[in-house]
Amino acid sequence: MTAGETFPRLLAAHAAARPDAPALREKYLGIWQTWTWRETWTEVREVAAGLASLGFRRGQNLAIIGDNRPRLYMAFASAQCLGGVAVPMYQDAIADEMRYVLDNAEIEFAIVEDQEQVDKLLEARDTLPTIRHIIYEDPRGLRNYAAPGLLSLDALRAKGQEWLAAHASRLDDEIAQGRTDDVSVMLYTSGTTGKPKGVAQTHAAMIFAARGAVGFDHLTERENVLSYLPMAWVGDHLFSYAEWLVAGYTVNCPESADTVMIDLREVGPTYYFAPPRIFEGMLTNVMIRMEDASRWKRALFDRFMKVARRVGADLLDGKSVGLADRLAYALGNVLIFGPLKNTLGLSRVRVAYTAGAAIGPDLFRFYRSIGINLKQLYGQTETCAYVTLQPDGEIKLDSVGKPAPGVEVKLAENGEVLVRGPMVLKEYYKRPDATAEAIDAEGYFHTGDAGVFDADGHLKIIDRAKDVGRLANGALFAPNYIENKLKFHPFIKEAVCFGHGRESVMAFVNIDLTAVGNWAERRGLVYSGYVDLAGKPEVYDLIRGCIEQVNAELAGEGELTHSQVSRFLVLHKELDPDDDELTRTRKVRRGFIAEKYQPLLDALFGGKAVQHIETQVKFEDGRTGVVAADVRICDVKRVPTRAGGAA
């Protein structure tokens, strides 16, 4: 990497070398719109000039809020042209949640998508008058707004054109001043245990991670990517921005969250990234459709899926497979696997990644068996989502791969994963104490995750180091590990386990309304909604069976055999980020949940069979309400260890 490499310079290089190639695409009113590299660079410069005309200066932070939109991705580069820092924020956060980040990042300028985001910022500005300029992309609904500092993106571009005409070389001078060790983006952590922290990442860090990933998987400018995950998440910033500007491929933005699956099929991405919940949802929909299919279609699907499970992954890895199995798989590809991949929109995928949470081995095996090169990676916001990758031909279902090129990984004495390399954060914004605590004297970032290396050098993540505890008998208790095993079942959407310092493990469960609802309808079970369905005895029997399967798996896992679930309940409401139970990246806030649902927790450990609970909930429009229910609690069968001892 050259000493002066920055994102604006990468963008300028693509515009000079491939001016008419597609850089960004967006589906609008059912039609795909395209920006070439020349058009993208022109708009980035005009928006940057417009910001300069309003007084945006080097070192300032620019808030970017909205769904994935080409012009919002351009806004990142526009801020960086002036030496500014892009601060993407979660578009589904309410005004109160945004207020902390807006204040902490000292936001004066914001570029947002639409009226919804404008309304949030205007509400936040009641207590944060420092927000001076709000620039919006979509003008619908904003015609009669007269708030000071409110400006359309098109009007900003017009200002920029005038500014460029009057200051011919000023913008080029600003771009030339940019240094590779300047902060390019600030991504806020999810805040599972406290207030979010601003992770300051430099051009150098993000470009290092992007170059490493692009080289590792031999990505080129011919790739097509669908960008639909929150722009505030480090995974999207790596795949849809940093790697986009390094490799020069085309990024496609869906029309809306509701059309993602349709747009996915139309785009046919060659490089695809999704968290496990997306892959789980895809498979759940497939299995629901198969259950509703005719008997002969189900028989055909089951027959060829047996072949796929037996040899599909070996064929994908280039291993030796007998002629008969090759022919059977080829026929299955024509009749089943090919149409299935086309339905999912994954027929052209060369490389697919998942990260953010553990993925179930059965789920992982399914996608690889039908010919999708699905792999796992491991990383954090503080490491540009770049720590380990799975090399082709060395895929292990229970690992996150080997250290990525240029990355050093080691384990502390307590099993915590320590990471060192150019992709480690520069600092936590305005938090020198947190920075000093996270990065030791040797330059290793302390991830907070507990892991182990296997004999082949593959890393396995067990749990968050702070969450790894001990049961009353001293046995290891890794709640996240157990929760992930539970969530591998399509009927369980979320799980929260408790057991540290206790005699046994207890679990809260959220059912998957789509999967369990379909299951109930096929059995003639009538229900009025989530609360009603969650409390049905038949559903409890279904979930008990899932948990007992997990207990059977835990029985053969050494010290973790003692972590089998003894009792569980199905929560009367879905855990929700709006109720502060999950982060915006859907990580469980276990401590908060334990405190909020203390009566249920006491009932679980106290041996009760039923517990009444009334829970306050927040609605999208800011109103609050109460959900009340008598929650049943059930015992679960524990399984003896495989060595024959009692669990």
My answer on whether 455 and 499 are in the same domain is no
Alpha-carbon gap, residue 647 to 640, rounded angstroms? 5
**Pairing between strand 476-477 and 469-470?**
antiparallel
Q: What percent of the chain has pLDDT over 90?
A: 76
Does a structural domain hold residue 256?
no
My answer on whether 460 and 334 are in the same domain is yes
- Of 499, 485, 607, 633, nearest to 555 by C-alpha is 485
Q: What percent of the chain has pLDDT over 70?
A: 97
Contact (CB, 8 A) for 408 and 443: no
pLDDT at residue 646 above 90?
no
| 147: alpha, beta or left? (left if phi > 0; alpha if psi -120 to 50) | beta
My answer on whether 167 and 59 are in the same domain is yes
Task: Pick the last residue of a domain from 444, 464, 484.
Answer: 464
Does a structural domain hold residue 212?
no
pLDDT at residue 116 above 70?
yes
Beta bridge partners of 374: 352
- Of 573, 570, 243, nearest to 386 by C-alpha is 243
Does a structural domain hold residue 642?
no
Alpha helices in 345-471 (DSSP H): 361-369, 432-438
Does a structural domain hold residue 251?
no
**Pairing between strand 492-498 and 505-511?**
antiparallel
Does a structural domain hold residue 264?
no
Q: What is the pLDDT at residue 191?
A: 63
For residue 244, give both structure tokens: 């986009």
- Of 330, 400, 411, nearest to 364 by C-alpha is 400
Q: For the chain, what is the domain count?
A: 3
Mean pLDDT computed over 402-431? 95
Alpha-carbon gap, residue 641 to 551, rounded angstroms? 10
Q: Is 393 exposed, middle or buried (0-12, 13-18, 19+ CB in 10 A)?
A: exposed
Q: Could you list the residue range(s) of the whole structural domain that residue 367 is in?
A: 276-464
Count the residues in the chain.
Answer: 647
Q: Each residue of 7-60: pLDDT tens digit?
A: 999 999 999 999 999 999 999 989 999 999 999 999 999 999 999 999 999 999
Q: What is the pLDDT at residue 642?
A: 52
pLDDT at residue 498 above 70?
yes
My answer on whether 473 and 420 are in the same domain is no
Q: What is the pLDDT at residue 580?
A: 85
My answer on whether 487 and 450 are in the same domain is no
Alpha-carbon gap, residue 50 to 597, rounded angstroms? 50
pLDDT at residue 2 above 60?
no
Task: Pick the last residue of a domain from 417, 443, 464.
Answer: 464
My answer on whether 447 and 474 are in the same domain is no
Q: What is the pLDDT at residue 596?
A: 93
My answer on whether 302 and 440 are in the same domain is yes
My answer on whether 515 and 376 are in the same domain is no
pLDDT, the chain, mean: 92
- Given pLDDT bands bounded at 50, 70 and 90, which one contains residue 564? very high
Mean pLDDT computed over 486-506? 92
My answer on whether 135 and 38 are in the same domain is yes
Domain with 560 in it: what CATH number?
Answer: 3.30.300.30
Q: What is the pLDDT at residue 1?
A: 42
Distances (CA, A) of 533 to 393, 537, 549, 571: 44, 9, 22, 11
Q: Each residue of 318-365: pLDDT tens digit?
A: 899 999 999 999 999 999 999 999 999 999 999 999 987 767 777 888
Cβ count within 10 A of residue 141:
13
pLDDT at residue 607 above 60?
yes
My answer on whether 444 and 553 are in the same domain is no
Does a structural domain hold residue 558?
yes
- Given pLDDT bands bounded at 50, 70 and 90, which one contains residue 619? confident
My answer on whether 165 and 311 are in the same domain is no
pLDDT at residue 608 above 70?
yes
| 140: alpha, beta or left? (left if phi > 0; alpha if psi -120 to 50) | beta
Alpha-carbon gap, residue 116 to 140, rounded angstroms? 10
Q: What is the pLDDT at residue 48?
A: 98
Task: Pick the last residue of a domain from 241, 268, 296.
Answer: 241
Does a structural domain hold residue 597?
yes
Containing 27, the helix (H) or strand (E) segment is strand 22-28
My answer on whether 545 and 562 are in the same domain is yes
Spatial CB neighbours of 423, under 8 Å, sequence gap ≥ 6: 205, 206, 208, 209, 212, 383, 384, 386, 406, 407
Q: What is the pLDDT at residue 645?
A: 41
Query: Is the alpha carbon torsion for 310, 312, 315, 317 positive or negative?
Result: negative
Domain with 313 in it: what CATH number?
Answer: 3.40.50.12780
pLDDT at residue 515 above 60?
yes
Cα 463 to its chain centre, rounded Å, is 17
Q: Each residue of 67-78: pLDDT tens digit?
A: 999 999 999 999
Contact (CB, 8 A) for 25 and 266: no
For residue 134, give both structure tokens: 């709000």
Contact (CB, 8 A) for 490 and 512: yes
Alpha-carbon gap, residue 414 to 402, rounded angstroms? 20
Contact (CB, 8 A) for 494 and 516: no
Q: Which amino acid is at 156?
A: L
| 60: alpha, beta or left? (left if phi > 0; alpha if psi -120 to 50) | beta
Alpha helices in 403-536 (DSSP H): 432-438, 479-487, 513-522, 530-534
Q: Each residue of 240-282: pLDDT tens digit?
A: 999 999 999 999 999 998 899 899 999 999 999 998 888 888 8
- Given pLDDT bands bounded at 50, 70 and 90, which one contains residue 644? very low
- Given pLDDT bands bounded at 50, 70 and 90, which one contains residue 561? confident
Does a structural domain hold residue 574?
yes
